[in-house]
Structure 1
Amino acid sequence: MDVRTFWLAGRPADGDTELTVTNPHDGREAGRYSVPTDEQVEQAVAAAHAVAKEAAALPVHVRAEALAHVSRRLAERADEIARLITAENGKPIFWARGEVGRAVATFRFAAEETRRWSGDVQRLDTEPAAAGRLAYVSRVPHGPVLAITPFNFPLNLVAHKVAPAIAVGAPVIVKPAPATPLSSLLLGEILAETDLPAGMFSVLPVQNERASGLVQDPRLPVVSFTGSAPVGYAIADQVPRKHVTLELGGNAAAVVLADADLDWAASRIALFSNYQAGQSCIAVQRVIVERSVHDAFVERLVPAVEGLVTGDPADEKTQVGPLVSVEAAERVEQWVREAVDAGARVLTGGSREGATIAPVVLADVPADAKVTREEVFGPVLIVQPAESIDDAYAMVNDSKYGLQAGVFTRSLDAAFRANRELEVGGLIIGDVPSYRADQMPYGGVKDSGIGREGLHSAMTDYTYEKVMVLTGLSL
């Protein structure tokens, strides 16, 4: 099997060591890649710093066409890329194809936003002292972006950092998750086909212990991180004077009110508590059901979960594949065992084979159990009754996380009340919290992070406002 090169200042490069990526499902080799040396990492950072002014001055059409080219090439190579995602991540091919499709859209949205990205003009002669004055307000890149990406969406979450950086004219250095670097390296191959200047991007598959030097390097003034809260806040603490954006996950809740379509709610919650084997920041983890429909809902939910196809992620019919590693599956298994030991009941699932866990539904889970309070990041769902809508919304907010929530209801009053009261960055009415459109603002509150992704939002995050005042004009 060929060894994938990494990307140093837009060009392929080889280091002095190689590492192997294995398929979480069966342990077979998914690919090998070259690891950059410390000297090569320094070269990449120096190149990003050196090209920053040129990148910021790139004409809009150059940036937009580069992003459009990436979108087209991802679409042309969609099947190849989806199979690579499945091989390195264990994600079922059904979901991998969906991820590639989303990445195609993400780069397309970025190209469109680039062409719309323009300054604002303000007349200042609203007061006599400012007669003849006009303000032009533009946005300027903070500088090169360090993008630290997770394993669960090894292509599209890289796209959500790379695309807005290119869109605003900021060089970007990607440090992919060690478990899943191959997809980002392939993305680097496509980026290298564009007319972007040397130094505009690098993809450096270094191990996590080497990331600290990149985080602290003053030549990378923006750090965009997606991952766990402890790691994210440790990064922010290291560099308090940098512009840091953090997407840190959650334990997403879905509320099922008495007027909901129970069949629809059960089918959606069953699927989206277990897609990506639960390894999504907005996978459904907590289900809060009004007492009057609780039993009827559970009667629908359990068969829906049991009906999901678990198995080989390369099989077109598989809906639930393995976790990213045996160690991750063992941790989830231990958390379930701790909850059961504390009084929880297993309604279905829980058996483990290697890195694969049969989807779990738990009831009577103690409020202080890890599967209630923390982010499980596995195929585990807990069902909790609520006495009223007041109780349900309070239970959603009884969490240190606040990324997204879903509310199944037909009531506009209940929907707008949820929008007022729920402490989350995103609220999905009539569906699961796992819904995300790639162009919309996406991010959380509380321990779910700071900043927003979604193309326009991330472009704003990577830039600052600059005001130029023109004087002596006849307006």
Structure 2
Amino acid sequence: MSEMIEVVQAYDRALIKAIPADDAQALETKLATAARTLSARDAWLKPHQRGAILQRAASLLEGRVEAFAKLIAQEGGKPLTDALVEARRAVDGLRNAADELRNFAGREIPMGLTPASDGRWAFTTKEPIGVVAAISAFNHPLNLIIHQVAPAIAVGCPVIVKPAAPTPLSCLELVALLHEAGLPEAWCQTLITEDNALAERLATDPRVAFLSFIGSARVGWHLRSKLAPGTRCALEHGGAAPVIVDRSANLDAIIEPIVKGGYYHAGQVCVSVQRIFVHAAIKVEFVERLSARVAALRVGDPLLPETEVGPLILPRETDRVASWIEEAVGRGTQLIGGGRLSRTTLKPAILLDPPADAKVSEFEVFGPLTCVYGFEELDQAIDIANALPVAFQASVFSRDIGPALRAAQRLDASAVMINDHTAFRTDWMPFAGRRQSGYGVGGIPWTMKEMAHEKMLVLKHDG
């Protein structure tokens, strides 16, 4: 009899469903199936078939948005209003992958530029890179799977996806929906396990050509070091996103986006607003306004439509965030808000000028907390913002173009938002961490490029 995994609600730890776990033999069967599917070249799905499947899946998902949103809120703890946004994004993501097939092509390579290259015509074509192993995270249990699986399907790669252990249900429902839309089961399989060693075996198997990993930097970089020779990868980790608030910033306009960016999904977002650097001339008023809005956030059961901040994913994560706050307070940092509602639910908090070597200043919090620091000179704030080994998205708020562009040019980030929060994203834009924050480029069209080989054909002719 298979071992069972109990999936519980993030908010109150109530059982949602028990599902069977996969073992080593199941993994071997799935890998063999994926490899066999790839090798059967004549049976590959044609681009028009792949596009049609993705479009049908989008239509099916569009009719089930509310059901998926409820499941996201239950297993992941994301407030229902935000879970609905995630489910609708997933619909668009499937269509985005299908639409991108119209542009997914090689290019002509110029010949005849030297005598040796005369009499030749060369061009490239796109081919699937091979079997994809996709290991995903809990915080967007539907849309992250879309980011990994939809590009693989579009390109024509057999994919085995392992969802995060606390949030497998959205993944299972999505894969079932893809099969319902006409995708043969061999092209998209799941690995359901709480066994990290088994997940590592998936990632490092020599039959895997591409690893897509979303999760902690510690695990991601470890897996990259263990990949079989020739296996490519994309790693998406986290950061400690900086926001710079220039003295010219419009306080009437910026508080709401900063609060959304900092406390959306209880801060469990890889580009969540964490470190806010505010010019000393406006710091007092900024903190007053920020504190008032954070205090008004409605915290609790994510299934209630009015909830704005839900739980963290696990009790141990709640304990960790609480301990980091306590460490900063113990070193003389002023705390605004905070406290605990349940085993997994923390009240949103603000820390004022925590030490530079406090955990909340050095590491990704991944909880409902922002830290506010004052500065006198813009370059001082930029230098501190850039001082960590992680770098992902950043933002600057300013009504003056000079400080906005100076910060945008000098912030060490893959994307800088001007007058918007750090967590802004569309699924068709490039999304990538720098340095320890990641490797490769996410975003559906960009992932499709990474999951494909470019093959060159050179035709010699006498004309």
Question: How does the TM-score come out when normalised to structure 2?
Answer: 0.96
Cα distance in 2 for partners of 1:418, 1:169 equals 41
Which residue is equivalent to 1:9?
none
Residues 333 and 352 in structure 1, CA contact (< 8 A), matched pair in contact too: no
Q: CA deviation at 1:32?
A: 2.1
Residue 124 of structure 1: CA displacement?
1.1
Q: CA deviation at 1:53?
A: 3.9
- Per the alignment, residue 271 of structure 1 pairs with 260
Post-superposition CA distance 1:285-330 (Å, at most 9, x none): 1101112221121121110111111111111010000101111111
Tell me the equivalent position of 1:142.
129
The 10-residue stretch of structure 1 (126-135 or 203-212) with the greater mean CA deviation from structure 2: 126-135
Residue identity matched to 2:241: A
Residue type of the alignment partner of 1:31:
K
Q: In structure 1, which of residues 263, 273, 282 is the aligned counterpart of residue 271 of structure 2? A: 282
Aligned residue in 2 for 1:7 = none
| 2:398 equivalent in structure 1 | 409
Q: State the 1:122 CA deviation.
A: 2.6
Question: Are 2:178 and 1:211 aligned?
Answer: no
SS in 2 for 1:467: strand
Aligned to 1:5: none
Whichever residue aligns with residue 173 of structure 1, its letter is I
The alpha-carbon deviation at position 134 of structure 1 amounts to 1.8
Is 1:237 matched up with 2:220? no
User: For residue 87 of structure 2, what is the aligned residue in structure 1?
Assistant: 100
> Residue type of the partner of 1:106?
G
For residues 192 and 97 of structure 1, the distance between their equivalents in structure 2, rounded to whole angstroms, comes to: 23
Whole-angstrom CA distance in 2 between matches of 1:198 and 1:274 = 38
Equivalent in the alignment of 1:10: none
Contact 1:176–1:204 (8 Å) recurs in 2:
yes
**Equivalence for 1:227:** 215
Cα distance in 2 for partners of 1:244, 1:234 equals 12
Q: Establish whether residue 303 from structure 1 lines up as the match of residue 292 from structure 2.
A: yes
- Is contact 1:44–1:202 with CA below 8 Å preserved after alignment? yes
- The answer to whether the aligner puts 1:32 opposite 2:18 as a matched pair is yes
2:281 is paired with a residue of what secondary structure? Answer: helix
Other-structure match for 1:368: 357
Where do 1:262-411 residues align within 5 Å?
Answer: 262-411=251-400
1:253 is aligned to 242
Structure 2 letter corresponding to 1:234: H
Tell me, yes or no, if the aligned pair for 1:106 and 1:438 is still in contact at 8 Å.
yes
The amino acid that maps onto 2:153 is: I
- C-alpha displacement at 1:240, in angstroms? 6.1
> Within 2, Cα distance between the matches of 1:364 and 1:375?
16
Aligned to 1:153: 140
Residue matched to 1:171: 158
Distance 1:345 1:240, change over 3 A: farther
Aligned residues: 460
Please state whether the residue corresponding to 2:130 is helix, strand or coil: coil
How far residue 214 of structure 1 moved from its aligned partner, in angstroms, is 0.9
**Which runs of 5 or more structure 2 residues have no equivalent in the other structure?**
none
Pairwise CA distance, 1:54: 4.4
Q: Does 1:202 align with 2:189?
A: yes
Residue 473 (structure 1) shift = 6.0
Shifted more, 175-184 versus 187-196: the winner is 187-196
Give, in angstroms, the shift of residue 205 of structure 1. 0.9
* Cross-structure match for 2:111: 124
Secondary structure of 1:274's match? Answer: helix
- Partners of 2:120 and 2:407 lie apart in 1 by 45
Letter in 1 for 2:17: G
Q: 1:49 aligns with which of 24, 35, 45?
A: 35
2:69 to 82, 97, 113: 82
| Poorly superposed stretches of 4+, deviation over 6 Å | none
Q: Residue 450 in 1 paired to residue 436 in 2?
A: no
Of 192-201 and 250-259, deviating more is: 192-201
CA distance in 2, matches of 1:240, 1:338: 41
Question: Which amino acid counterpart does residue 276 of structure 2 have in structure 1?
Answer: V
The answer to whether structure 1 residue 189 and structure 2 residue 173 are counterparts is no
**Alpha-carbon displacement from aligned partner over 1:31-86 (angstroms, at most 9, x marks no partner):** 22121232222111101111114479432111111111121111110001100111
Maintained 8 Å contact 1:60/1:115: no
**C-alpha contact (below 8 Å) 2:179/2:185 kept by paired residues:** no
CA contact (8 A) 1:291 1:388 kept: no
Identity of aligned residues (%): 38
Cα drift, residue 457 of structure 1: 0.8
Q: Which amino acid aligns with 2:37?
A: V
In the alignment, the residues of structure 2 paired with residue 452 and residue 240 of structure 1 have an alpha-carbon distance, to the nearest angstrom, of 21
Give the alignment partner of residue 438 of structure 1, picking from 427, 436, 451.
Answer: 427
Query: Residue 245 of structure 1: SS of its match in structure 2?
Result: strand
SS of the counterpart of 2:253? helix
Q: Confirm or deny: 8 A CA contact 1:175 1:205 kept in the other structure.
A: yes
1:78 and 1:198 map into 2 onto residues whose CA distance is: 23
What is the SS of the residue equivalent to 1:434?
Answer: coil
Any gaps of 5 or more consecutive residues in structure 1?
1-14
How far 1:198 sits from its partner (Å)?
Answer: 4.1
The letter for the 1-side match of 2:202 is: L
1:278 CA displacement: 0.7
Distance 2:63 2:404 in 1: 40
TM-score by length of 1: 0.94
Instruction: Summarize the Cα distance change of 1:59–1:240 in structure 2 as closer, same or farther, 3 Å threshold.
Output: closer
Equivalent-residue separation in structure 2 for 1:216 and 1:43 (angstroms): 16
- Aligned ranges 1:464-475 → 2 under 5 Å: 464-472=453-461, 474=463
